[in-house]
Amino acid sequence: MNSKKWSGIVFALVAGFALLAAGCKDTGKDGKEQAQKKAEPKEDEDWWCKEHGVPEEVCTLCDVKLRAKIQARPQEWCALHKRAKNICFKCDPKLQEKWAQAYRDKYNKEPPEITEPEEVFEKK
């Protein structure tokens, strides 16, 4: 056999294996969406503090540095409940709805249930 014939056979085999491998993947719309969901972390997990029901960037119950910064500003700190006033649901229950609405506006769905009860907040 000449080298051109061998080249053609090798090329055909490589192309065949490539097509076979491509055929095994789920290329439908759902398959692409599932692959993207697995590859990308859920955006709300990075933005939302599920334990306390507020965005992570304002959660003084989780972020020690932010807590120290806000405690230094007495007008922004609720000394009674040991948290920033903008997330003190005890002093202003309407704040919980405000943050829930911010979540709804951002993700067009209901926020996750708060996983850490108020009583635990006060012990911190």
Domain region containing 61: 42-124
Cβ atoms of 32 and 25 within 8 Å: the answer is no
Q: Is 73 inside any structural domain?
A: yes
pLDDT in tens, 60-116: 999 999 999 999 999 999 999 999 999 999 999 999 999 999 999 999 999 999 988
pLDDT tens, residue by residue, 7-43: 666 666 666 555 555 554 444 445 554 444 444 445 6
Q: What is the pLDDT of residue 93?
A: 95
C-alpha separations of 29 from 19, 25, 32 in Å: 19, 12, 5
Can you say whether residue 108 is alpha, beta or left, with left for phi > 0 and alpha for psi between -120 and 50 degrees? left
**Is residue 86 in a domain?**
yes
Torsion (CA) 110, 111, 112, 114 in degrees, nearest 10: -130
The dihedral of CA 51, 55, 60, 65: what is its sign? positive
Count of the separate structural domains present in the chain:
1
